[in-house]
Amino acid sequence: MRDVLLGADLGTSGLKLVALDPSGAVVAEAEADYAVEHPGPDRAETDVRVWRRALDDALAEVAGALDGCRVLALGLAGQMHGAVLVDEAGTALRPALLWPDRRAVAELAAWRALPAADRAALANPVAPGMTGPMLAWLVRHEPETVARAAAVLLPKDAVRATLLPGADVAVTDRSDASATLLWDVAADRWSAAAVDAAGIPGELLPAVRTSTDVAGTAELTVGAVPVVVGGADTPLALLAAGTTTGVQLNVGTGVQLLRPGLTPRPVDEPHVHSYADAAGGWYAMAALENGGSAWSWVCGVLGMSWVELFDAAASAPAGAGGVRFSPYLGGERGGVAGPDDRGAWTGLNPGTTRADLARSAVEGVVGAVGAAFAMLAVPDDGAPVVLTGGGARSALIQQLLADVLRRPVRHVRVRSASAVGAAMLAGRGIGVDVVPRWDAGPLVEPGPGS
């Protein structure tokens, strides 16, 4: 009987599932897409039942490939920053608020009014789509729901709660807790100052456990499976790729540039995030909310698929005939762009083609990535940048990234590095240390004159 470990990555627009054997080989993969709901301006939500259904569908898809296998454990990776109110049984009381949500802009005043030392201890930019501000919005606008809640969970924790009825549901891990704007990075614990200033009931905050702790055993279609606490998607992608130095760049709905090995400390007016990883350390992150989401919008406007978008962009000359695209459709967190910035095409002329528009959209996002990379202050040592995420599969994107970053890049060819990282956590939770076997792409060097 072949042993396997499962890892599920709960993304913004889809769930990816992977099964690894103890040698690190991929035995099976599946993916289930879903849409983000926008019930009002600046709002982004998903019903937790949609996520659970996606997990069940993915498990059903791999069931045939796992016939005769013994599933040892399941790990969960999840999109960061969300807010899910649940009752004592772990049932969500309303749809989850997600990181692209901007309804909590007014609530940020509570964070900005913190005493300087307490604000610096958070060591992260203030953004409305983080758990703390969104929870403060719920306290202000939906007090009846908050009064019924037993805990606020992060997305992967809410899915885990549906798998483990009767278990202690009020649990998260450091990698997710540190990204809530409620975490004292310097002291490595919940920030009483931020919680109090935002008017958040402290009893809603979950207990923080190690990512590899076994939270309980789930009855799944593949059998009774231990489930570990899990971690945030970004640090699990770091874990999976084995990136301990240099920079890793993930291109998905958003874009994350990750520099491991951070020493946590208070930071005044930060533009770069300071987050805990899934193994006891820390990393710096420069993030863009408008990455693949901007390309998806352009695809809808131009009536193209992603493949068609990149093919059209490759057929147009560099510089897109003078057309420039600003990708900040939903604003940004600061540094590269501000929350009130918006997207635009400029430089249009009678000769502008659809291919020019596609090229400018690709170059606009890549240019924003270059600006975010500069904020990380990476030593100019020429070390390759590790690429992950579906948006980095295109040869054109890889070359443009190498050019704008002025260093080689190499794409890790895997459907979801975060799902692989989750499977690795599952293994560690039961004493099985797995090193994934990658199909790494070629090293792409910067072009002449970059």
Active-site residues, by number, are 233
CA nearest neighbour of 232 among 263, 211, 262, 253: 211
- Rounded Cα distance between 241 and 69, Å, is 25
- Rounded Cα distance between 323 and 156, Å, is 40
Residue showing tokens 């560099």 = 318
| Four-point Cα dihedral 275, 277, 282, 284, nearest 10 | -50
- Rounded Cα distance between 351 and 187, Å, is 58
Phi/psi region, residue 262 (left: phi>0; alpha: psi -120 to 50; beta: rest), is beta
